[in-house]
Amino acid sequence: MTGLDTARLTAWLDEQGLGAGAPLAITQLYGGAQNEIYELRRGEHHSVLRIPPATAPAERDRGILREWRITAALDGTDVPHARGIAVCPGPGVLGRAFYLMGHIDGWAPMDHRDGWPEPFEADPADLAYRLVEGVAQLTTVDWRARGLADLGKPDGFHDRQVQRWTGMFARIKGRELDGMDTATAWLNAHRPLDFVPGLMHGDYQWANVMFGHGGPARLAAIVDWEMGTIGDPKLDLAWALKDWPESTDDPGATAGHVGVHGMPGRDRLVARFAEVSGRQVDDFDYYLILARWKLAIVLEQGYQRAGDNPKLRAFGELVPKLMRDAAELAESTGYR
């Protein structure tokens, strides 16, 4: 049982001309943090349905429609993505807005945290390169021509970051965070050397990409676009590399809860992004500080409402480390 109204969904698929007349098979997939995911098969039709949980707040529907809008706009670009198939913008069919995207024939890094699949187990370096090249591909999207000009507010993007997130921290503050004053003051005093607005995923990391089966390494899709906006793609790069070690020689080296031993160190990955995108990275310390500082505040929100939730309570130790790392980098950086 999936909780979906199969009869209503089948009738809607008929209206869309998707597998008309064939029986519908639904399989729930797992891995999405915000939305429910279902695989649909009906005759020759094969897709994935994304929908907010029935109990989710109303803004989740807006997030789903945002995902759909970006997914549809990416068709015809070089960005690896799942093809947009159809959208239901209202609650009339399944009680929430939802959309269908093409099924991705690939694998998720978070399913392989104990070892990469063949042929990457012995040499996973190209997986890391494909990860950062995905951000470089975002910089090539002509977001205005793709109808995304009103998706975000790029003017003043960096000027708003500190104000927005310090305001968030003030609302949920339950303790002092060592280093926050230092990192916040540094961010207030600095800006990137340049700012070229672009399509930004908003949560770019191992958990939100999929790779193609077999070699050579190929990014099959960037997924989960509910936080997408027009902002600064270099912040996506920093988000992916915020805890990436400068050296991956240690067999226990991790980044984003994934083992990265045998992969390039952070500096080499930043250099690859610059090579592929053509953008300068002399100010990358700014982005790393902002990413660590911002994530600390995001996770602190979860920690302050953790209650007996062990996953959220675990943020209690991680948040101070992130904030100290941001402050230490701010104090040591040569970027002015």
Sketch the domain layout of the chain as residue ranges: 6-103, 107-332
- Span of 15-19, 244-248, 308-312 with lowest mean pLDDT: 308-312
Distance (Å, whole) CA 302 – CA 311: 9
- Give me 187's structure tokens: 């961010």
Tell me the pLDDT band of 32, cut-offs 50, 70 and 90: low
Distances (CA, A) of 50 to 2, 68, 83, 127: 13, 9, 13, 26
- Please say if the pLDDT value at position 176 is more than 50: yes
Strands 229-231 and 84-88: what pairing?
unpaired
Q: Flag whether the pTM goes above 0.75.
A: yes
- Residue 258 phi/psi, 5-degree rounding, is -125, 140
Tell me the pLDDT band of 1, cut-offs 50, 70 and 90: very low
What is residue 113's predicted lDDT score, i.e. its pLDDT? 82
Distance (Å, whole) CA 229 – CA 244: 24
Distances (CA, A) of 176 to 162, 179, 246: 17, 9, 29
What is residue 20's predicted lDDT score, i.e. its pLDDT? 84
The residues pairing with 255 across neighbouring beta strands, listed in sequence order, are: 258
Q: What is the mean pLDDT of the chain?
A: 94
Single-letter residue type at 253? A
Distance (Å, whole) CA 50 – CA 175: 37
CATH 3.30.200.20, domain 6-103, yes or no: yes
- Please say if the pLDDT value at position 36 is more than 90: yes
- The CATH number assigned to the domain with range 107-332 reads 3.90.1200.10
Q: Smallest Cα–Cα separation from 106: which of 90, 70, 130? A: 130
- Give me 241's structure tokens: 């590399």
Q: Are 2 and 38 in contact (CB under 8 A)?
A: yes
What is residue 31's predicted lDDT score, i.e. its pLDDT? 66
Task: Give Cβ neighbours of residue 211 (< 8 Å, ≥ 6 apart).
Answer: 106, 107, 109, 127, 130, 217, 218, 219, 220
Q: Are 101 and 50 in contact (CB under 8 A)?
A: yes
Tell me the pLDDT band of 3, cut-offs 50, 70 and 90: confident
